Amino acid sequence: MVQLKTLTFADLIAQQTGFAGEGRLTDFVSRYDGELYFGDRLNLNRLARQYGAPLEVVYTPQITTQVQRMRNWAEQARAMTEYPAAFHYAYATKANFAAEAVQTALAAGAHYETSATADLIIAHGLWRQGILPSDRLICCNGSKEAAYREAIRNLRLDGCETVIPVLDDLSELNDLLATPAPLQFGVRERAAGNRDGRHPGNDRFGLTMTEIEQAVERIADSHHSLVLYHAMVGSQIEDANHFLATLRASIEHYCRLRQRVPTLRYFNFGGGMPTAGYQLSFHFDYQGFLSRLMATIRDICAEYNVPAPELIGEFGRYTVATHSAYLVEVGSVKAGQPGQPDWYLVNGSLMVMLPDTLFVSGQEFVILPLTDWDRPLRPVRLAGRRTCDSDDIYPRPEQEPLWLPETEGGLILAIFGIGAYQQMIAGRGGAHHCLTPEAARFIIEEQQGRLNSRFVPQQDQATIMRLLGYRPQPTALPLPFRQPMRSTVLSARRRPRARIAGIA
């Protein structure tokens, strides 16, 4: 009789990716001696043994790797295509504003892209401290309310010559043109945002062609100059052909404008560069894409007889999605309805940790068990045990279930790809859905080749209650540490007065 081998998690990964069980699984996860490593250096199993779960692991050297890799690919693409102008890597800070993320990207050489007032105020502070060096561009996108325009003026008047307001609306011009120091302006092309009809909502940004003409005239009549053309297509664009085809019309618009505006020098394609963080089987030929982009721009510019522009990409997801992970524990298993996958109840909230599971249709994350790769598989869905919300599940009902090793509880899962947008959308340091406390955080940064770490404990209940306006309730709260009581009756002389009287 032929005995059918029970499929294990290791078999599944081997089938999906060809991974032999040891070595590099993706460009951010590896496995050695049966233990998972982040960035090939940080042992996640050891962290789970030491700190338990839930734990957020923030590994900033991955950001450095991302930036360096893209800059190298761009250099190779420039060499291959003989592209005559520079390539500039900007970090779209909206993806993750955490100081360690922003500062690591800057240290790796990134320029800065802002989306709102607060963002620019941070940039101004970093610029003053020299953390954002004075040769870096600061591209200011987004709709500019008065405070944002004021922040741009302040930065420029403080001496920063590289701040570039990218006009999102003609109404922004008046205040900005009144800035006494010369400003370098950009215009954002509105049509690029939804040229293919696949990105509704993206076409609310930027100027129509007629508005661009008006902006060009008004800037030409001033002591300022127009230097940048911005054309953003979308986010996580995994189809390189589509990405390039959609940009083509914008490159032609750039060229036509460049024929009349000799100060134009940057073509900024915005975000959209995909991250590998969401799927194990992800593949995108970044260098191939950049080579094709440069060749396309070079050729179109030659047709229009204008110099090829310096290129800017604003990398959000690509920069930070892969630098952090959540470790969560399957605390209990609940049977699914007949014929349906079982529930693995984890000690966290999926809708708080992974809000894109709700907002982005079909959003996926890479989930790997830290142990038990040789145990049989079962189809499951995860559910957050720290909320009682029926939406607190992943994968969503319309998605295929996960296949994970069997467990009765205690299995720890690493959820990757969470470093971009998730925490910014869910918020950090606040009161969350069902008062789910934020997980403890273990942050690793690299300084002079050495990894330094710091541990931030799990958010405590007293903090959450204070945020919600509750007065301290000492008797109702679990105490972090209780002294053993020597005697239940203290003599009146030894009793602290304030406690007896109940007043401070």
Ligand X SMILES: Cc1ncc(COP(=O)(O)O)c(C=O)c1O
Binding site for ligand X (CB under 6 A): 92, 94-95, 113, 141, 232, 235-236, 270-273, 314-318
Closest distance between ligand X and the C-beta of residue 235, in Å?
A: 3
Closest distance between ligand X and the C-beta of residue 94, in Å?
A: 6
The residue whose Cβ lies closest to ligand X is 271
Nearby residues of 426 by Cβ (< 8 Å), 6 or more positions away: 352, 353, 355, 432
Task: For the beta carbon of residue 338, count every other beta carbon within 10 angstroms.
Answer: 5
Q: Is the dihedral of CA 28, 70, 232, 160 positive or negative?
A: positive
The owner of tokens 């598989």 is 377
Q: How many CA atoms lie within 13 A of 319 on its CB side?
A: 32
Residue 270 vs 348, nearer CB to ligand X = 270
Residue 143 vs 340, nearer CB to ligand X = 143
Residue 6 vs 143, nearer CB to ligand X = 143
Alpha-carbon distance 96 to 105, whole Å? 11
Residue 229 vs 315, nearer CB to ligand X = 315
Closest distance between ligand X and the C-beta of residue 31, in Å?
A: 28
Alpha-carbon distance 272 to 316, whole Å? 8
Closest distance between ligand X and the C-beta of residue 414, in Å?
A: 22
Residue 226 vs 231, nearer CB to ligand X = 231
Closest distance between ligand X and the C-beta of residue 264, in Å?
A: 18
Residue 95 vs 227, nearer CB to ligand X = 95
DSSP per residue, 124-149: HHHHHHTSS-TTS-EEE-S---HHHH
Alpha-carbon distance 27 to 38, whole Å? 9
Closest distance between ligand X and the C-beta of residue 66, in Å?
A: 11
Q: Helices (H), strands (E): how many in the chain? A: 16, 22
Alpha-carbon distance 6 to 403, whole Å? 13
Residue 47 vs 418, nearer CB to ligand X = 418
Alpha-carbon distance 481 to 484, whole Å? 9
Alpha-carbon distance 267 to 61, whole Å? 29
The owner of tokens 């830290």 is 370
Residue 104 vs 235, nearer CB to ligand X = 235
In 237-376, the DSSP E strands lie at: 266-268, 310-315, 324-334, 342-346, 366-369
Residue 95 vs 404, nearer CB to ligand X = 95
Closest distance between ligand X and the C-beta of residue 93, in Å?
A: 9
Closest distance between ligand X and the C-beta of residue 365, in Å?
A: 16
Q: Do the Cβ atoms of 149 and 172 come closer than 8 Å?
A: yes
| Burial group, residue 478, by CB count within 10 angstroms (0-12, 13-18, 19+) | exposed
Closest distance between ligand X and the C-beta of residue 260, in Å?
A: 25
